[in-house]
Structure formats: structure tokens, C-alpha cells
Structure 1
Amino acid sequence: MSDDNHELLPGLDLRLTESNLDDLYDLAPCGYCSCLPDGTLVRLNQTLLSWLGYRREELVAQRCLQELFTIGGRLHYETHGAPLLLLQNQVRELSYLLRRKDGSTLPVLMNAVLVRTAEGQPLVIHATLFDITERRKYEQELLRTKTLAEEQREQLARANEQLVSKNEQLTRINADLDSFVYTASHDLKQPIDNMAGLFEELKGAATFHDPEAAHMMTMFEEALRQILSTIQGLTAVVQQQRQLEQMPAEEVALQPFTEEIIRSLQPMHAPHATPFVLDFRAQPTLRMARSSLHSMLYNMLSNALKYAMPGRPPQIRISTELADGMTVLVVQDNGRGIDLTRHSKELFQLFRRFHPDVDGSGMGLYLVNRLVHQVGGHVEVESTVDQGTTFRIYLPR
């Protein structure tokens, strides 16, 4: 490059810099304006003019900065923005709505500085305005989301309150029902016992030669027996519930606990070799109230013996498994089985029996299911008629 070219550079750089500064001012992505201390506009960049839809000559020396705002913004500027500028010489992030020439509005954030003379007198205000349309949409969406979340939270809270109220109501109803059942069964037991006693005296004192009369006596005796069994069953249900509410849960070793129950059932399986196989290696203990666990296992094992398949030695396996974070107590037998296609929905109903030729109260499975649900578990059943049944009792660990 020649020396002559070097001599031209300073002048050329100065012209380019001045041109660039004008371009930067006019084409900046934000609005710039300058105004006198009273707000009279003296300069605006092209960006701000484009936003507003005005020509430069329509605003410069014709309008004030605060006149570009909506009524609420103008009031805020005159009572808050302008006094702060005089006091602090600057303001930051004041939110206003600009009123366009066509009447529409544009949300902006304004930063402004007040320039003073050497004597400290206000000279000119330089303001920078940022279009916050997208930010406002985002804020409004956040607000809508927050409002929706609060409404949903309130709905959930109301639903929870209703659920708590319903649960309390159901608890009271269950308590009232249990109290009624216990009282009724207790009050009925004495008259029924008296009837049974009178019936025994009648059988010993009277002789019935008529076969039909003798048959009616047998039917009456069976009816008395069924009534007594029902009353005893109802009493057992309520007593079990009260024991569950009073007895604390504890860690129970399953092997000795189950062996003790098996010994108490010995009269039921005395004719056969010991039909029980125990395998608690997966989970040797259970945390549960001892009385509840005893009632649950006793009913399961006694049912397995009671409903053994005639002519086939009973085989009963009791074991534990781990599944889905729960302990599974498995009781499997090779007995008569239950037709689940017919009886699955009524399997745990009170007084429901599936083998009428075998003595029973229809209470056992009901009690087991109730005990399991009260500790947060559930029961699954697999059964095949004449082949056997498997109960899987899922209990919290």
C-alpha cells in the first residue's frame, strides 16, 4: 500500500465510523429516543418509529415521551418515572404500553438516564425501550399455568378433604356395624342356647313314631346348629377386628409360628402322614400383629385340610416369595379346588360356601381377605376343580 493511501485512511475511517454510528442508532433492535426534561421528543431512531407507525416529523418537537404511553403508563411516568429520574438521574426496567398510531399497543421495558449541565440543571433525557411482547406472552403463559396449577391444587385439596370425610364416615359406619353385629350376636346367643337346651330335653322326653315328625326334628336341630354357627362367626369377625386395632405389629418368625398352628390342627390330619411342607427361605419373618397372622394362617390351613379331596392324601405347601417390593405368603394344596369361572366374584363374601357337603361357616376366606386388606395387602387365587388351590397373600414388607 502506498504512502498516499495511508494518508487517506484517517479521513475514510472517520467517515465510516460516523456512518456506522448512525446506522447502529437507527437500526438497533431496540428503540432509542431523546427528549427534553418536560418530555418533548427531540430525536427517535428508525426502530422506534417503525414500532409506533409514525413519521419522524409527526413526533419530533410535536409530542412528548409520556404521550406515547397508554393513560395508565402516562400517569405512572408523571408520578413515578419522571420524579425518580430527577432524583436518581436514571431509571431501569419500567414497564409501559406504547400506543401505536393505529391504536394498538406494544409492551416495552424502558431504561432512561438524565443528562445535566455543568451547573447541574436537567438538560436531556436519553431513553432505551425494549420490545417485550414475547416476554409478556411467556409471563402470561406462566401466569395461566400457575393459575391452572393453583386451581388443580385446590380441586385436589377439596377432593382429599372429601375423601378424608368419606373415610371417616365409613370408619364410623364400620364401627357402628361392628358394634351392632357384636351386640346382636351376643343378645341372640343366650336365647338360642336356651332353645338348644329345651330341644335336647324335648328329644330325651318325647318319642316320635311318625317318620315325618322325626325328620322335622332333625331339620330343626340342623337349623339350630346353623344359627349357632352364624352367631359364633359374627362374633369372631368383630372380635378379630377389635384385636387388630389393639395389637401392635411385630416381627414374627414364620417357621416356629406355623409349626405351632399345625400342631393345633393335628386332630384334623391325624389319619394321614404329616401333609405340610414349609419353605420360608425367601423371607423367614413377617411384620404383623401375631393374632392377625395366627387367624389368617389358621383359617388357610384348616380350610386346606377341611376341603381335601376324598380318597387323596392332602399335600399342603406353605412358603414365602418376594415380588414387587412385597412379601408373598403362598399356601398351596391339592384339594377339591374352586370353580373360579363361577365363583371368583363371591370368593371372599361373608358366609359364602362352595362345598355344602362339608361343615363350615363361610367365614374363613372373608376373615383372611379382611385381615390382609387392613394391613395394605391383597390376595390372589389360582384354583382348578379336583386338583387344588393356590393362595398368594401379598403383604407389605
Structure 2
Amino acid sequence: MNQQRYAHILRDAGIGVWEWNRITHEMHYSPAWAEVLGYSVDDIPAICETKERLCHPDDLQNYQRALEAHCHGATAQYTCTLRLRQKNGDYIWVKDQGQVVSWKDGSPEWMTGYHTALDETGMGALIKKTFIDQAPGAIAMFDTQLNYLAASRQWLIDYNLPEAIEGQNHYDLFDIPERWKEIHRKCLQGEIHQAEEDEFFDRTGAAFYLRWQVKPWYHQGEIGGLLMQTSNLTHFKQLQFEQKRQQAFQKTVFDSINVGIVACNAKKELTYFNKTSREWHGLPSKSVSASELSQYYSLYKADGKSLLEEADIPLLKVLEGNVLGPDEIISIKTADKNRYVRVTGNQLYDEKEQLIGAVVAMHDITEIITTNQEKQLIDTTFKSSFENAPIGMALVSPEGNWLQINQKISDILGYTKEELSGMTFQELTHPEDLELDLSHVNALRTGERDSYQIEKRYFHKTGRVVTVILSVSVVRDKDLIPLFFISQITDISTQRKSENDLKQVLRLTQDQNNRLKNFSHIVSHNLRSHSGNLNMLVAFLNEELDGKLKELMQMMDSATGQLAETIAHLNEVTEIQTNENAIQKTVCLKEYILRTTNTLSAVIKENNISIVDQTPANLVVKAIPAYLDSILLNFTSNAIKYRSTKRASYIKFCTEVKSKEIMLTIEDNGLGMDLKKYGERLFGMYNTFHKHKDSRGIGLFITKNQIEAMGGRVTVESTIDVGTTFTIYLPYEEAYTNSLSY
């Protein structure tokens, strides 16, 4: 058919017809096609680019996509609603339709079609279709034959469908079970079917969960087809499963550790005993009044002789709001032994912050107590050197990485929790002890044993050697594959040093050539001086046995007294250093903020982050300096880590004094968080809320505990893609201003 014949047909057709040769790009338009746009057919060049130039820019991509989908066989007919520019510059909505009518060498050659300007009825249908297309949920509209009329973007995403879906049949795209076909038939008769939660399986067999509704839609009183709407509940179901897994995980940990866990409710009724506690007491748990607890469970004071009064039972003390001291030790008597335990605890609150009970952890320190008692029989001078060491607990991966640690391990090794998270226990172990430790670990991995306990040495951050008792047990999955190790570390460095010191003193009186070791430089110098005196006096004794013996013995007594005094001074210094980090001081808040931003200055500069510090220069707080450093560093580094790349980032520090509290707010305009979804888990352990390679899910948990350890609290406000504001409340008194510590 030649060009003149096409022109004749198009001129006489009276409708907006077009013909397009996809190979030569030749295109013909009927007069009616041009008149819709206010042109004459002679005004419009017979090329395909003419139509694209007249198309609204926002509709061009949809137009091209719909054409390509049809020409590649994805749709039986090309259909697109778009805007074309009229001669006067205004745009008019048209419905454009067409179809390939001839092929050449397997490719489309000629297409023919027409467009129709949309009147009010057509515009109404378009508005409805646009509403469905742009609906935030997953929704689709079908005719009575289950052909797609429209589908929202979420529907296309959820069911992995192409953009050009209109006109395709639902049953051609999916293998629809007879159950659903029956629902469709009933809905086409006027019924509405829905389910709040339904389980489905994809082609891989993985389960997913939907809330769905199918109902008819009407046009002029007649059923025009079906509306289907679905909501994906899979994420919420997974959260439920994860919560159950966490509960099982916690129970496994509590039943695996060699620490007794006991809990009670607000009425002082016992509600929980873990496996270790049951084994220690050797009694079944039963309903016992608070006044009878000590008698029934054989709870004694640290002397092992006096039963605890009700007011002295650690669990009930915690319930009443009393803080347990660092030396809260009790004795549990059984038929064959006295077990000494150090007790720590916390009150329990519900989501409304109502007190619901208390829980205590009992750490077995029987061996340490027994060792101290034996050493006291040898020489009471060294009694303070054999104090009970705190216990560290950790979860360690089969590869040796620290998964979770408590603050005691940081105290023992000198590293912060953040520093330890990037290290393995192998890096910290003394080379001479590593082979023995790894052999035991390998025995756990292979199933040869379930636990072990050894004495080993670690390197402290300062480089000194720390000697510990390491107890390790393994937690396995249902296939007996190790999931993680539970490690308990008791620092016995003080005891080992005291043992060495005692041996050195004994050797000093027995062997005149040995000298005291492992003391500080000054004390070591004094000990060598006294040792020299003793050597000389002993030499005199060997040579002279006459009347001067008494005088020489007095001189020896004086020299050994000076030696004992020097050792006592060393013990006092050691005790002060041990408790140094627990002392709260009044510090200048602005200086600590400046210290934090200086520490992070390189990454702040690299990411063009603005720091706004509105804290007064003379405002002071009472805090543990190491904790305050850690808190500020963690919140600031998080704000940097989870910044938004869509806008210029800032971090703002502000303060406000309210009554007995100082409010420190740390605000950023980063990615933000969904607090409705994650709020309850925000300060939990291993919870991450952004996909970041350095996310570990432990920083906020540590920071919250540090704040609470200083008598403070923390709240958070956050909006997704707007930012996050953390508010830290710390105790405050005006007197602090006059007692600033540096």
C-alpha cells in the first residue's frame, strides 16, 4: 500500500487514526487525529518523532514503555493514556491504542491505531485508574474476565510484575488454585471475601503471610469487575518468631552459665530459678513466705554461721530499692559444703514503668574465699591481697570473636567493649597459654567435652599480664553444631601476685640470694634495700654467737618490720587504682563535648558535618569521666555513621537545667528510625536498625547502662529520613559549679 493510498484512507476515516512503519519511521495521521490537537494534517510531519515531541515530558517514558512491551509480545494490544500538546500550547488527555498489523523478518513492521480525547467520563475513569496506580498499598483492578485494568506500584513490586500490565489476564500470569477461582466467581456475584492473616508459599517453598480482601466494583449499578487488595504481614510474623527465638536464647544462656539466677514478683513470691540455682540449693522450688526464705533455702551471712534476716536477703533488698554493695556476699549451706556467692541485682519494670519484681545473679566465689582463708592462716599481713576478684562473662563465637561482653571484662583487660568487639581472644592470650586454650576449644568444637576450666594469662591494654580462671561451656544447636561459647573470667591477678609475694618473703628468710619481684619500681628499690640489710644481719649471726646475739636479733626485727610496712603501702596503692574508675567527679560538659568532636574531627571533616555546640561554657555535671567520654563518643559516632546523604548533615548539642537534672540533647538530621516498629528494642542487645557494615546492635545497650550507672536516664525521638534526638538526663546540683574537677 503506497503513501498516497494511506493518505486517502486516513483523510476519509473521520477518526484519529495513525499508521506507523517501525522500520522506516514513516508515520501517517488522519485529519481527525490532527484536529483533536488543533492542527491540520499538513502541519504535522509524517515521522514518528512528531508524536514524541507533542507528548508531555512526564508521560513520554510510559508511552515508550507501553509501545515496547506490545512490540515484544508482552501485551496483546498497545494502550496508553497520555497528554499531547495542542497547537495553542495546552495539553489534552487522550487514550491512545494500537496493534502491530504486519511483521518483517520476525520484527514488527506496521502498526495501526487511534487516539480518543477523554471527556468527563473518561477523565473520571482515568482519575480512578491513577488513584489505583499510585496507591501506597498493593491493590489491583480487574474487569469481569480478570483482565488487569490497573495495578498500584506496590502490587507490581510485591508480585514481580511488569510495568505494562493493563490488558493481561490474571490467570495467565499466575497458576491460580481452584480455591481462589471459586472466591473470584463468588465476588463477581456480589460477595466480599477477606482474611486478616493467611499463610502462603512462594515457588521456592518459603512461607509468607498476607492480609487480603477481594470485592466487586460497580459501574452504573452493575458489577464491572473485581478489586483485590493485599498487605504483606511477613515482616511482623518474622518479628514474632524472632521474639520467641530470643526468649529461647535467653533461657539457654541462663541455664548454661555457672551463675545462679533467681527472680521474684512485687509480692516477694519467687518466680524463677535457673538450673544452677536449683543445683546449688538441692531443693525443689515451692511457695515460701518471705520470712521463711532463709530457713528453707539455707541462706547465711558471709560468716556462714548466722541466718539472713528477711531485710538482709539480697533479692528482697533489691526489690525494696536498696543498692547492693560490691561486697554483698552470702553463704548457701548444703549437706556437704558452704557455698559463698557474690550477689548483684536489679529491679524489674513493665512497659508502663511499674515495678513488677526483682532479679539477682549469684556468682560462686567459694574457691576465692577458701583460698583467702587459707592464706590468712599463714600471714594476716597479706589479707587485703586476697580479696575476691569480680567475674567477667562473655559470649564468644567459634572463631574466637567477642560476641557479647560485660563491663567486668573491660575492667579486667583494660579495653573498652568497642575495642574488644574488633579483636579475638587469641590476640590477647599469652603465647605460652594459647596452645592449651585452643586445644580445649577444639575439644568443645568436636564434641569431646562440653566445658573446661583452666588458668591462663591475658595481656592487659597497658601491656601487663593478667592471670585469670577461665571457665568455658558450649551452646549447640539441634544438630550439635556449636553456636557460641559462654566464658566466665575471674581475675586472680591479685591473688597470684600475693602468692608470689608470699613465696618471695619466705624465700628471703630461707634463701638470702632471692629478691622480691613484680612490685612497682619504688617499692622494689625499698625491698632490695631491706633485703640487703637482712643478708648482712644473717651473715653476722653465722659468724658471731656471743652476747651480741640479742642486739643483732633486734636489728633483724626492725628490718623485717620495714619490709612488711613497704608491702602494706603497695597493697594500699593497688586498692586505690582498682577503684579509681568508679569515682564520680564534677566535670565541665563542654570540654568533654569538644574532646569528642576533636577525636572524630577527621571523619567529621571528611563528611562535611556541621557541629553546633550550644552548651554553656561553665556548665558542669557529676559523672564518671570514662563513662561520659564513652557516651558522647557513641552517640556522636552513631550520628556520623547513620547520616543522610540527601542533605548537609549536622550534629547539635544543647542543654537545659531542670530542677535536679541536666538535660543534654544530641540532635542530628540523619536517617532516623521507626520508633513505632523498633522503639521497644532500641536499647536492646544485637539489635540493628540500618544496614551498615559496622553495625553490631550493642552500642546503645552499653550507653544506656553507663548512663543509668551514673544515676541518669535516656530518651529518644526519631522520624525516618528527618533525624534523631537523644536526651540524656543526669543528676545536677548548683553546688557542682563550685567544685569542678579536672
TM range (shorter): 0.3 to 0.5
Higher strand share: 2
Larger radius of gyration: 1
Higher helix share: 1
More RCO (CA 8 Å, sep 6+): 1
Scaled by the length of structure 1, what TM-score is found? 0.43
